[in-house]
Amino acid sequence: MSPAGKTPVERAQEAWGAELPEWVLALARECARPGMSQSKVAGRLGRSGSLVSQVLARKYPGDLQAVQDLFEGVFRNATVTCPALGHIPTNECRDWRDKQRQFVNVNALRVRMYRACSACPRCRKPEEEPE
């Protein structure tokens, strides 16, 4: 229970209403599981507890798709097919896509992934997609 006496599920339902995405509900349920908390869930995601709190409260100003990719990869074992690495968790794909934004020649894998992500359709922004 939060200090306000509401569970993470109740807080998410109140904040999102009828527009509550299924994955946000699943995130809230994960936080409400015995032995878990927003902080522990955030730790597994490699993010801060405040990020999870803001998502549940529908106040997160960042990229919700990125958070969904992290959640799906870590808690649901969701995978994508990477042109360079084969099947990888969605959260790893997101990490490589984030690294791809700036080229850094630190090792052969990083160069390989920069090239692969640059050509990957998952990495394209909607405005960059061919018509």
Instruction: For 54-70, give the DSSP string.
Output: HHHTT---S-HHHHHHH
Stretch 23-49: mean pLDDT, rounded? 96
Lowest mean pLDDT among 28-37, 43-52, 87-96, 120-129: 120-129
Instruction: Give the mean model confidence (pLDDT) for residues 98-107.
Output: 83
What is the helix (H) or strand (E) element at residue 99, kind and residue range?
A: helix 90-100
Where does the pLDDT of residue 130 fall: very low under 50, low under 70, confident under 90, or very high at 90 and above? Answer: very low
User: CA-to-CA distance for 102 and 115, rounded, in angstroms?
Assistant: 11
Q: What are phi and psi of 109, to 5 degrees?
A: -65, -40
Provide the residue type at 117 as one letter: C
What does the pLDDT read at residue 2? 55
CA angle (31 as vertex; 26, 35 as ends), nearest 5: 130
Q: Yes or no: say if 31 and 56 are a contact pair by the CB < 8 Å rule.
A: yes
Tell me how far apart the alpha carbons of residues 124 and 117 are, in angstroms, rounded to a whole number: 9
Per the prediction, the chain carries an average pLDDT of: 89
Q: Is the pLDDT of residue 125 over 70?
A: no
- Is 110's pLDDT higher than 80? yes
- pLDDT beyond 80 at 30: yes
CA–CA distance, 12 with 26 (Å, rounded to integer): 10
pLDDT at 10: 97
The answer, yes or no, to whether residue 42 has pLDDT greater than 50, is yes
pLDDT at site 124: 64
